């Protein structure tokens, strides 16, 4: 049986499924550098590279760029929908409210996905974010949808509905996905005892692992069995081991590459 799935992988997997079934969806993601799910994000960028019309925007899109892309889609008369992801820490950034206000006024085809993982880097959300999270998008006339971010099927259903609403010209959507990151906020965030307990982490991994929950549902519904899932996990672990070996054996970049692709 699969052992675990990070919060980023769970959310991206569900919305990836919606994008897989509808080639008109355009994804805009912030950087996941340093988080456990950034390999999955890189894989998605590669997977959809052939159909993303604006790759540079797709790679760096936070709420401002994603909303601008949605405006572009509306002005060009396409049925594209922009989707951008951010942690609950972004609820303290003014640019999010400026863009949501614009998106609501102009009924832009954009879906905002807030990954509420309980911590703004190292600080509990309760100490940084006042009031009701749902009230924030609602203040701009955007109907928020609250979903269990550990439930892949639930995220998929909510994302599918939000995309359909946005595509019909009925305005932006806002998903609040309650989730948890099993690892640190970045590669250096190794010892996390000073802001959350090991027991808390272990409890989430044991009881709320998205991959285990999905696997259990599929086995119960006789869509697969444990042996098949173990085969898949074994194949994935082998692929990861091969990639890791390649990365560790790769030469370091040449010093003259340090300013390559740097524009500012």
* pLDDT tens profile 96-131: 999 999 999 999 999 999 999 999 989 999 999 999
DSSP 37: T
In this structure, are residues 117 and 94 in contact, taking their beta carbons and an 8 Å threshold?
no
Which residue numbers in the chain have pLDDT < 70? Answer: 1-12, 14-15, 18-19, 23-42, 44-45, 48-61, 264
The position carrying tokens 């990151």 is 181
pLDDT of residue 55: 35
CATH number of 7-187+195-215: 3.40.50.970
pLDDT of residue 29: 47
CA distance 248 to 127: 40
pLDDT of residue 228: 96
How far from chain centre, in Å, is Cα 86? 7
pTM: 0.74
pLDDT of residue 57: 31
Query: What H or E segment, with its residue span, contains residue 116?
Result: strand 110-116
CA distance 224 to 218: 6
**Cβ contacts of 204 within 8 Å, gap of 6 or more:** 180, 182
Tell me the pLDDT tens digit for each residue of 158-167. Answer: 999 999 999 9
CA distance 177 to 175: 6
pLDDT of residue 15: 65
pLDDT of residue 36: 41
CA distance 181 to 9: 10
- The arrangement of strands across the sheet holding 81-87 comes to 25-28, 81-87, 110-116, 173-178, 144-148
CA distance 98 to 140: 10
**Cβ contacts of 123 within 8 Å, gap of 6 or more:** 195
In this structure, are residues 75 and 69 in contact, taking their beta carbons and an 8 Å threshold?
no
CA distance 18 to 11: 11
Q: Where are the domains of the chain?
A: 7-187+195-215
3-state DSSP percent of the chain in helix, strand and coil, to 5 = 50, 10, 35
In this structure, are residues 85 and 112 in contact, taking their beta carbons and an 8 Å threshold?
no
pLDDT of residue 247: 87
Q: Which residues pair with 28 in a beta bridge?
A: 84
């Amino acid at each position: 049986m699969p052992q675990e799935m990070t919060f980023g992988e769970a959310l991206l997997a569900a919305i990836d499924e919606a994008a897989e079934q509808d080639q008109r969806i355009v994804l805009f993601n912030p950087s996941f550098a340093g988080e456990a799910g950034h390999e999955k994000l890189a894989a998605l960028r590669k997977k959809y590279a052939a159909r993303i019309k604006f790759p540079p925007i797709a790679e760096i899109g936070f709420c401002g760029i994603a909303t601008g892309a949605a405006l572009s889609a509306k002005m060009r008369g396409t049925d594209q929908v922009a989707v951008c992801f951010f942690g609950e820490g972004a609820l303290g950034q003014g640019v999010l409210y400026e863009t949501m206000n614009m998106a609501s006024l102009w009924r832009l085809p954009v879906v905002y996905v807030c990954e509420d993982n309980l911590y703004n880097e190292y600080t509990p959300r309760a100490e940084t974010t006042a009031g009701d999270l749902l009230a924030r998008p609602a203040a701009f006339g955007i109907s928020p949808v609250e979903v269990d971010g550990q439930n892949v099927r639930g995220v998929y259903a909510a994302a599918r509905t939000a995309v359909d609403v946005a595509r019909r010209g009925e305005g932006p959507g806002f998903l609040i996905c309650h989730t948890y990151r099993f690892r640190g906020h970045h590669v250096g965030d190794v010892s996390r005892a000073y802001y959350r307990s090991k027991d808390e982490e272990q409890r989430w991994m044991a009881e709320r692992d998205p991959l285990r929950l999905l696997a259990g549902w599929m086995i119960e519904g006789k869509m697969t069995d444990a042996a098949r899932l173990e085969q898949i996990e074994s194949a994935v672990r082998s692929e990861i081991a091969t990639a890791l070996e390649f990365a560790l054996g790769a030469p370091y970049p040449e010093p003259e590459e340090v300013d390559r692709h740097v524009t500012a």
